[in-house]
Structure 1
């Protein structure tokens, strides 16, 4: 189907989904459970096909990492949502001031309507199905625009969802930039976008024309701050896991590390040693993922060479040559210049700059001088020190003494702040994103508020006297 045909289909199905929502504004608890169970069942049924599609799109994509970060993640998220949905759907009573009694005040969580979801290429299944799960739990209809960089996964997701959902409930729209641009102009009741900050700004601008509420899950340069009391070799173990999973193509991957004076080399060498143990022959190892496209591959290599030419030391894992695969050796760059692309752009690849700081105040100052990151990682044996860093910085999320694990806690809202995005989802936060908090006050037939209506007199003075 051509992009023009997809755009026409998009308009038709948006109207169909709006009509379907109007006919069923408050989808029942049982029906929502069926939707959640359908997402879980589809994930389990097509697990091998999901791994195949990811591998085809990336050239080399670790089947184990696809199992962990996409399939197992979605199974856990669906189970969590199913367990808590009933309590999320209940109205929440709130207190009322004495001068408004008798009466009852409460909050109803009502589905917003038709939700638009724009998903990225780096975790193409999970970052599409996770917000779909939240929107369905909220009682919404869903339209998905997946990334054009992962066409095999896009086609698979479309066929999977068609097995369980009519298109007036869930519909998928593969296609290029013109389809994506048209998608952002639809007057959705909510739009969730995951991707780059640059495109996020364009999405927000297009959505603003319709006053469409937007959740932006963007990226940025997520820093690591290592305190003087934390062993360098221990830091390297978890940095290697967080940085080189999916070849660094993760929005919350550590983007650069700030170490105490004199410890940068130790951290760099321990990181490389750990990654060499994880991927003894990264070039041929099917568990070490390739870079998604030629353009991105060339960009990452150019960033390494720029830093090398500027005098930075480049350490790379041993492991042969990748042949025709778009693989880049796990890389650590010691002390790249502040004006280098490695330190100015989000890297989104298997390259970790390691620099030195002059103490925690200096480290926090350098982090705070940049845009607010999506994640921040602090390493210290002291809880007091770690909390000092958390209090002295701002980020979308944070982890102490490890990386990325906060993403897998469904009860934690996941989202950015400032240039790394706004709004959140996962767990109840996702349910809240796709519902409207409708405040309701129920008064009896006769309510004393009549005493403060005109004509104003002694009863008014008595009722409003403080």
Structure 2
């Protein structure tokens, strides 16, 4: 069977092939896991230029350097970290046995065993990273995997299918390509674990499909990631870092800042500095190869419709550059100031070159507004007030946090990355990623001698049995 399939029947057959091979193989030694991860590393290195070209073509304008940094190097970081750490992660986790058996030689441990075949559904905005970063954890845990690249980046998807097919036996890693109907068929398969990266709306459908087969899921979703700009922050530096973050991948990142909360008195300065710094990094728009274009016309028009709705409502919108509707899909940074709560841009994740700015009088007001929304994938705080930072952290909940910058926490290979509530469930990266794709199996070894009869713990129960049990029911 080929490593790449493109029909529901093909996915079913490929999954059956992998699960049968998993059953035959038994324990997967560390050396085999490392070798499989190294194969992925080697194919990314060998095909990095071609993959960057494919992503550029799919986006209609995506810097090769950015694609190499974000998708190739990002994936290699996850793969190499897992490769180098997995042997230590595989060691049995000794646990304390319960009294009094621990005193008689009873032992307990937890074994982390592979689950089987993992389905990984990637997304278009980071078409390699969202496939190969979770694949690192899946292979590190001893699993097999089938990848489903996004159909929105078809050239990249086809190239991934070709290079995986050239390097891997489909019993170990395979690829399924196709449109949304193939994605739906993919999610309905009885995988041993399923990973999906994408929107919350689609994530609900993926979880519903997986539930029919009781497949455990890891959902990496999104949401409106907030930024709290404290009064103690270096305003110029905060705006510089935020402008850089919003320019990254044209704003098409699941942890891109969506709403910036600024003190009322600093609004005008913040707007001016955001515009200035975005101009600094992107002096031009239409023909600027450093600025990533909207991936296609549908996504461009989606963002533009949010802005059009705000304009119709009379909302103030500031642009980093004079807005000229050119033929391309690159756009300046648009700042949408205090839009009403029921506007489209306040209801939907932006995922593009725009940022909402909300003013606040007290930090508690910003926190209350954040908590009135679904829990986001990321939260950012800028400021030097340790007490205020603690207040923000302790009174909000998000998938992850970066302090005095944006999006950096997601690059931590040894720390878990994931959401909470509507921004997802489960996580990958590092040891937690290894655990995510492993079954934690408790093993308890009892001593040779069983003293329960001597203790009066076995039937027929004696007259003192109940008193003995009651004596142990204490609040200490």
Q: What TM bracket, shorter-length normalisation?
A: over 0.9
SS at 1:444 equivalent = coil
Shift of 1:458: 7.1
Shift of 1:383: 2.1
| Aligned residue among 236, 250, 260 for 2:239 | 236
- For 2:372 and 2:346, how far apart are their aligned partners in 1? 12
| TM-score, normalised by the number of residues in structure 2 | 0.94
- For 2:212 and 2:392, how far apart are their aligned partners in 1? 39
- For 2:109 and 2:354, how far apart are their aligned partners in 1? 50
- For 2:340 and 2:251, how far apart are their aligned partners in 1? 21
| Aligned residue among 263, 269, 284 for 1:281 | 284
Determine the structure 2 residue equivalent to 1:335. Answer: 338
Q: How do 1:59-458 residues align onto structure 2 when only pairs under 5 Å count?
A: 59-101=60-102, 102-318=105-321, 323-450=326-453, 451=455, 452-457=457-462
More off after superposition, 225-234 vs 396-405: 225-234
Is the 2:101–2:447 contact (alpha carbons within 8 Å) kept by the matching residues of 1? no
Q: How has the CA–CA distance of structure 1 residues 443 and 458 changed in structure 2, closer, same or farther, with 3 Å as cutoff?
A: farther
Shift of 1:323: 3.7
- For 2:90 and 2:6, how far apart are their aligned partners in 1? 38
- For 1:63 and 1:384, how far apart are their aligned partners in 2? 42
Is the 2:6–2:182 contact (alpha carbons within 8 Å) kept by the matching residues of 1? no
Instruction: Confirm whether residue 35 of structure 1 aligns to residue 36 of structure 2.
Output: yes
- Unmatched tracts of structure 2, length 5 or more: none
More off after superposition, 131-140 vs 318-327: 318-327
Is the 1:36–1:82 contact (alpha carbons within 8 Å) kept by the matching residues of 2? yes
User: Deviations along 1:150-181, whole A, 9 cap, x unmatched?
Assistant: 11111111111122211111111110111111
More off after superposition, 268-277 vs 196-205: 268-277
SS at 2:228 equivalent = strand
Q: How has the CA–CA distance of structure 1 residues 28 and 315 changed in structure 2, closer, same or farther, with 3 Å as cutoff?
A: same
User: Deviations along 1:25-57, whole A, 9 cap, x unmatched?
Assistant: 321100001011112111111111111011011
More off after superposition, 144-153 vs 156-165: 156-165
| TM-score, normalised by the number of residues in structure 1 | 0.96
- For 2:353 and 2:240, how far apart are their aligned partners in 1? 15
Is the 1:283–1:322 contact (alpha carbons within 8 Å) kept by the matching residues of 2? no
Is the 1:25–1:113 contact (alpha carbons within 8 Å) kept by the matching residues of 2? no
User: Deviations along 1:268-324, whole A, 9 cap, x unmatched?
Assistant: 221111111111112211110000111111111121122123222222223785743
Q: How has the CA–CA distance of structure 1 residues 81 and 5 changed in structure 2, closer, same or farther, with 3 Å as cutoff?
A: closer
- For 1:64 and 1:5, how far apart are their aligned partners in 2? 31
SS at 1:299 equivalent = helix
Is the 2:251–2:351 contact (alpha carbons within 8 Å) kept by the matching residues of 1? yes
SS at 1:307 equivalent = helix
- For 1:50 and 1:5, how far apart are their aligned partners in 2? 20
- For 1:88 and 1:322, how far apart are their aligned partners in 2? 53
- For 1:20 and 1:74, how far apart are their aligned partners in 2? 26
Q: How well do the aligned residues superpose, as a CA RMSD in angstroms?
A: 1.9
More off after superposition, 310-319 vs 57-66: 310-319
More off after superposition, 315-324 vs 93-102: 315-324
Q: How has the CA–CA distance of structure 1 residues 4 and 157 changed in structure 2, closer, same or farther, with 3 Å as cutoff?
A: closer
- Unmatched tracts of structure 1, length 5 or more: none
